[in-house]
């Protein structure tokens, strides 16, 4: 494994943003930058040519003005929260709304808009990047958080989130990563998606979950079998089947030469189609956000995102690349 550390740019306050790159024996590379603990690049080599799989930027300025949260680590809580005031086992806190009176991606308290401390190390047949940061914000408790990117020689990438807080608090972090397996700015409508799910969340006109789960069958949300995304727009949460035999999500290039599978130890995935270039209606980026179901703290049966004081919680998301020549 190769490990490279470089300067990626400088923040307005003078702090340096570091970029860490891991490369395995197959020349698969990942790069993560310290600003936002952001996943900046994920590339494979095909016939000696590097192919980028993420929709990403090559300069820091773009990440400082990034309304789509490309590649950012989102926390303490990813997705939307329908309330701004909370009492959790004696801990009270109030959040500042930033989305139609609700809180999106933790609002002003996000993991995504600060510079983390980063270190990388070679583990032999794997290598990892570790980002650490302590957060003392509107959420209850001082939170010590860690995000680890670990790549091995079999083209498996694990992203591991860990947190411990001085008070009872909320913890539902995720990676807001966007994929396009055929190249940036290309239409994703013919990408093929599969989700191991029987239900999705019903939402109101502000995209807040109502608490109801709706069957996918015979709707646009039915990706039980691999098929093209088409022209539909998605900004929705699927309930992952807890009895699934394979991975939670599979994404395949239009020519079926490249497949990315994604799985996690949590119960939901949010899929969001977007185009960073607002001048076109063509969707060029597909976000796959593995997390506990959005707004879980406000809906029974959505999952537990409470982090008890002085206890450590750890979550893992796994990405696996499969090229046609590997099959």
* 202-234 tens-digit pLDDT: 999 999 999 999 999 999 999 999 999 999 999
Q: Are 90 and 125 in contact (CB under 8 A)?
A: no
Residue 178: what pLDDT?
A: 97
Q: pLDDT-based confidence at 326, cuts 50/70/90?
A: low
Among this protein's residues, is 232 annotated catalytic? Answer: no
How far apart CA 226 and CA 326 sit, in angstroms, is 20
Q: pLDDT-based confidence at 327, cuts 50/70/90?
A: very low
pTM for this predicted structure: 0.97
Q: What angle do CA 17, 145, 167 make, to 5 degrees?
A: 140
Active-site entry in 176, 191, 200, 247: 176
Mean pLDDT of 130-137: 98
pLDDT > 70: percent of the chain: 98
Q: What is the mean pLDDT of the chain?
A: 96
Backbone angles phi, psi at 63, to 5 degrees: -75, -25
Q: What contacts 268, CB < 8 A, 6 or more positions away?
A: 237, 238, 239, 240, 290, 291, 292, 293, 294, 303
Lowest mean pLDDT of 40-49, 124-133, 259-268, name the range: 40-49
Active-site entry in 23, 128, 167, 289: 289
Q: Which domains does the chain have, with CATH numbers?
A: 1-324 (2.70.98.10)
Among this protein's residues, is 233 annotated catalytic? Answer: no
pLDDT in tens, 14-66: 999 999 999 999 999 999 999 999 999 999 998 889 999 999 999 999 999 88
How far apart CA 253 and CA 233 sit, in angstroms, is 18
């Amino acid at each position: 494994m190769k490990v490279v550390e470089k300067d990626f740019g400088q923040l307005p306050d003078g702090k340096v943003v570091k970029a860490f790159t891991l490369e395995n024996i197959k020349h698969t590379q990942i790069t993560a930058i310290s600003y936002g603990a952001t996943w900046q690049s994920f590339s494979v080599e095909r016939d000696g040519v590097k192919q980028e799989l993420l929709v990403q930027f090559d300069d820091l300025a773009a990440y400082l003005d990034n309304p789509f949260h490309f590649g950012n680590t989102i926390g303490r809580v990813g997705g939307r929260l329908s309330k701004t005031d909370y009492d959790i086992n004696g801990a009270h806190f109030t959040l500042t709304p930033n989305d139609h009176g609700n809180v999106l991606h933790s609002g002003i308290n996000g993991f995504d808009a600060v510079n983390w401390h980063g270190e990388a190390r070679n583990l032999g047949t794997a290598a990892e990047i570790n980002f650490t940061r302590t957060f003392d914000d509107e959420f209850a408790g001082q939170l010590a958080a860690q995000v680890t990117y670990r790549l091995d020689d079999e083209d498996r990438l694990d992203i591991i989130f860990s947190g411990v807080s001085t008070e009872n608090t909320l913890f539902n972090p995720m990676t807001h990563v966007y994929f396009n397996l055929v190249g940036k700015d290309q239409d994703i409508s013919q990408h093929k998606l599969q989700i191991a799910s029987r239900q999705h969340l019903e939402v109101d006109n502000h995209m807040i979950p109502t608490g109801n789960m709706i069957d996918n069958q015979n709707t646009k949300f039915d990706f039980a079998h691999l098929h093209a995304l088409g022209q539909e727009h998605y900004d929705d949460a699927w309930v992952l089947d807890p009895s699934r035999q394979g991975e939670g999500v599979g994404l395949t290039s239009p020519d079926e030469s490249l497949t990315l599978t994604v799985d996690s130890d949590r119960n939901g995935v949010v899929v969001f189609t977007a185009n960073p270039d607002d001048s076109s209606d063509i969707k060029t980026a597909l976000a796959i956000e593995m997390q506990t179901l959005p707004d879980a703290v406000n809906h029974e049966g959505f999952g537990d995102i409470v982090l008890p004081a002085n206890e450590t919680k750890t979550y893992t998301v796994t990405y696996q690349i499969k090229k046609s020549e590997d099959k």
